[in-house]
A and B are shown apart, each in its own frame.
Chain A
Amino acid sequence: MSRQTAHTRILWLGDEACGNPAISGGKAASLSRLASRFPVPAGFCLSADLLEALTDAGVVIDTAAELLGEAYLELARRAGCDDPRVAVRSSAADEDGLGLSFAGQYETLLNIGAGRLVHAVEQCIASGRSDRVGAYRQQHGRADQPVRMAVLVQHLVPADVAAVAFSANPVSGDREEVVINASWGLGESIVGGTVTPDTWIIRKADGMVMSTMIAEKQRMTVLTDHGTMEVDVPRIMRAQPALTEQQAAAIAELAIQLEEESGHAVDVECAFADNALSLLQCRPITTLA
């Protein structure tokens, strides 16, 4: 490669260039901009241009595989562990933008080890071309624009508890309170709607817990050797609160700070692993009245 520009080299979350959604896609850009001040797991982004250079008909070419391998080693160094598992996610230019959420329309591959990284990236690229995404784009009047899709590779948080927090009540529209949904394991069961999570409502002004509804949490997403699976929560834990009060307070604080940072109400995905909070995603609330 002659000269590496911001478009054609691996970008790390927190790098200035990575914060440009035109290059790294909406999701990666937004996380990158937050990475220096918020607990965003280490990760790198393969921009749309770089992916074009690295692939041939959607297949990663040999030299690119080497590049990915090096980036993975660097990720291991930054994450401070030898064999980190990663999440491989699409990050389309228009995804997670202010207008449309595209939530769940693109592929996310979780718990990928070094050996399956290349394949995961290929799967992620393929998903950008899928009918499902095409239909969504068409439905929202974006069919004419070409898909500019980057791929984000991020250290996987082995979540003990996952939560989705809203910096404004998405149901009532009340902007004075944070609403938190939380459940055991990875966030996929909450996002996918297969579990009824606990609901916490916390008043922004003073952090007062206005209400908690501890749900019968039947299912949870756990890590397997090479991915994830959804399993039953043991009966004895179903009605136990997934979050402690301190954890709920920390999430509320995170949502408030992110709202201040972004200048608008946000929908935050986050997780606790070993009682350390990680920010996984931050999007504007698109449906707020």
Chain B
Amino acid sequence: MDTATAQPTTRRHDPRTLQAPANFPIRWEQPDDAKMYWELDLMHYPAPMAPLEFSLMLLYSHGFNTAAEQFELPVRMRNLHINTYSYQCIYPIALPPEGVLKMLNGIGRVFPGFTASIQKKAVDGQARKYLAKMTPFVDRLMEIWNNDWLPEIKEHLAFWDRFDLRSATTDALLKHFEESVQRSLRIGDIHFFIGIPQLYAISRYQDIYTDLFPGDHPLEAFTLLQGFDNKTLETDRELWRLSLAAASVPAVREVIVYADPANVLSRLKELPEAGEFLAALEAYLSEYGQRGDRFSTIGEVSWIENPAPVLKNLRDYLINPVPDPAEERIAHERARTEAVAAARARLKGYPKPVVEQFETALRAAQEGTILQEDHGFWIDYRCLYRLRRVVLEFGRRFAASGVCERNDDPFYLTIDELRETAAKLPAIDRRGLIARRREEEKRFASIKPPRAVGRLPLMPPPEADPVARTIVRFFGPSSAEQKDAACIRGTAGSTGVFRGTARVIRNLADASRLAPGEILVTETTAAPWTPLFATAGAVVTNTGGVLSHCALVAREYRIPAVVGTISATERIADGAQIEVDGNTGRVTLL
């Protein structure tokens, strides 16, 4: 037997290199990037992003690294815009040389305990160091937010509000843009100064709760965090109040319920008796409407620009009145108070340092739960909305000069192209370039981007590392084992079991198809989606973990949720009958 000729003559393919599909060719700008592991951030950006939106988002995500540096975390983050999608890589900064890792992996195959114990020792030592840095922030979250960060955010907001976009010269507008960029960098830092400790606070508490009460359902831990007011609940509650205003004027109610959604606003404006309601709607939108579909308000049409999502929810409330959310919250608060008292009673005979650690962790997690929503309201929505308005003002001027067609065209430019176009207005015609990029976005919007590209890491993020664990609990798993054709496994996000009709919803505009009592099945949800939770029967998402926004809000609304299924939107047909089991994290096709 000639074994020599059996050897392949070409170099063997690296099994860790991920093959991108043919319709998703990747051109790596920096060759080394191909060696890293890039995951699609479907939770935040499930759809293509325009170039400028991506660049401006980088100002924010840069804050992750500022915060990681400050807290001495062993990880950093990078984002790449690949074929219009946002990929992110969270990578360790101090990894042993690849040779050592390979050796450890090899030993691990034979003696898994050995490699695991070496890894745990290294991880524990590292975690002790960074937790010493970060814990003082974690334990004073709300105080720091109220005393330092929120006042600073308000100062930044005031900066934007002081500036008169319409009457400024284009030079002044450019200067204003540059300062907006600088301020956004700082706001991005604040975003992660709060975001990382806030998520860790909840994750740390979850660990302590499950360690102390190992017999409890893991989600019981969250009962002790619920029923606090936050800006998301306030937004939903005010919308509910607005529905009462609409219900009190029969003609207004009539239009909202029966008119074609696209015409509701114009029809209302024709109604003499709608004046008071329209004023209330406008007040609502100016306070709460500085948000679009998802997490980023830069590239998304805000509720102020198009209030369709608000009108859809008003319609739902009018058709299917729900109880006063304020009262719901109070009931929820009562449940929390009882659960906290019960936990304290169970810990009565425990060492006081253990009880104190539990109390500290609980309080920080409660504050973290509030801040998860409130930081979004102030930073992700309000600040980014103002950045969007600056870009739209360029768009208005560009369109007026004929160098582009629509107000939102500048989103299809890079930051430098925007600067250049504005500085030389109207010399540079961008219409062709923008059309090409819009075309490209359309093409990639219709395909399914690979979940991950680049090269698989040698070692997965260590489970023993508290921050790695936090990140996984937030983003959810990157894969889910699916064995059974009739059953979709995900992460239990909010308890309860609900059977009903599935509505596979792609975006908020599409959400008008979700009737009250139906099950919301979607890629991800962000704060602007939460009014839907008031009328939905249950929610299922592809992305996210137990700490994701979706799971958190589902618990506040006490509807069952299964998150992080990876593929629910593909496997569940629109209109199908399904059972959502939020206790076990399973969705069954009936």
Contacts and interface: CB of A to CB of B under 8 A. Distances in A.
A159 B348 CA distance: 12
B354 A274 contact: no
Interface residues on B, range: 10 to 19
B211 A235 contact: yes
B558 interface: no
A231 to B, nearest CB: 8
B125 to A, nearest CB: 10
Contacts of B204: 236
Given A233-B354, A234-B357, A239-B128, A158 B349 contact: yes
B211 A232 contact: yes
Contact of A185 (B207, B350, B358): B350
B214 interface: yes
A224 B348 CA distance: 8
A223 B352 CA distance: 12
Chain B binding surface, main DSSP class: helix
Interface string B189-216: 0000000000000001001100110100
B338 interface: no
A117 to B, nearest CB: 18
B220 to A, nearest CB: 16
Interface string A16-47: 00000000000000000000000000000000
Nearest to A162: B351
A220 interface: yes
A160 interface: yes
A222 B357 contact: no
Interface in A215-255: 220, 222-225, 228, 231-237, 239, 242
Contacts of A223: 348-350
A198 to B, nearest CB: 13
Contact of A160 (B207, B351, B358, B361): B351
A225 B350 CA distance: 11
Contacts of A159: 351
Interface residues of A, number: 24
B207 A239 contact: no
A234 B212 contact: yes
Interface of A: 111, 158-161, 184-185, 220, 222-225, 228, 231-237, 239, 242, 273-274
Interface of B: 124, 128, 204, 207-208, 211-212, 214, 348-354, 357-358, 361
Given A220-B354, A234-B357, 10 more contacts: A160-B353, A184-B351, A184-B353, A185-B354, A223-B350, A224-B349, A232-B212, A233-B354, A234-B211, A273-B352
22 contacts: A159-B351, A161-B351, A161-B353, A184-B351, A184-B354, A185-B351, A220-B354, A222-B351, A223-B349, A224-B349, A228-B349, A231-B212, A232-B211, A232-B212, A234-B211, A234-B357, A235-B211, A236-B204, A236-B207, A237-B353, A239-B128, A242-B353
